[in-house]
Amino acid sequence: MIAIVDYDAGNIKSVEKALLLLGQDVKITDNGQEILSADKVVLPGVGAFGDAMGNLKRRGLVPVLRETAQKGIPFLGICLGLQLLFERSDEAPGVEGLGILPGEILRIPPKEGLKIPHMGWNSLHLEHGGRLFENVPEQSYVYFVHSYYLKAREEEIVKASAEYGVHIHASVEKGNVFACQFHPEKSSEVGLRILKNFVEL
């Protein structure tokens, strides 16, 4: 069973729909025991970093998610779910992230001719042979919606990057923990391929 973590942070239904399309047994849940006993865990999310961390704390999910990562359960963060895995965000000064991976979330700097949020299709540069990107061609286009971006502290965990006025760490992998800043569930065939690679781990 794949547990999709429910903490009132949007895009859960579209992630569920994509995983069902891949023939998976999926459960949307905020129950710690169900999450920890799942075969795989997905942390989706759209919205603000501070509100999301507040919701996770209120539901008692912060220690659950940290334990999920430590137990070696394959764990995928999507969009805001990627950002929450790291230590801090410019969006919510003073709010601690999950701290499962080292790095910080920075605001995309304003630049003439550049719309923020970064919204729409952008191509990926694939790096260091990430398992999510098996059979995904270099420069594949995926769908982004975000105003803040990841700067990971460990370059070797970055498996895909994108350019949008700044160098964006678009996907990371460390052990059993994976994350994408873009939305694979909204990225057509390429996105489904990425999700398929995750479910087949």
What tens digit of pLDDT does each residue of 38-61 get?
999 999 999 999 999 999 999 999
pLDDT of residue 17: 97
Catalytic residues: 79, 183, 185
| Domain boundaries, position 165 | 2-199
pLDDT of residue 128: 74
Percent of the chain at pLDDT > 70 equals 100
In this structure, what CATH number is given to the domain that contains residue 36?
3.40.50.880
Residue 73 to residue 24: CA distance in whole angstroms: 16
10-residue mean pLDDT series, the chain (201 residues): 93 95 98 98 96 97 98 98 98 98 97 94 93 97 98 97 97 98 98 98 95
Please state the domain count of the chain.
1
Coil, helix or strand at residue 7: coil
Label residue 109 exposed, middle or buried (CB < 10 Å: 0-12, 13-18, 19+). exposed
pLDDT of residue 72: 97
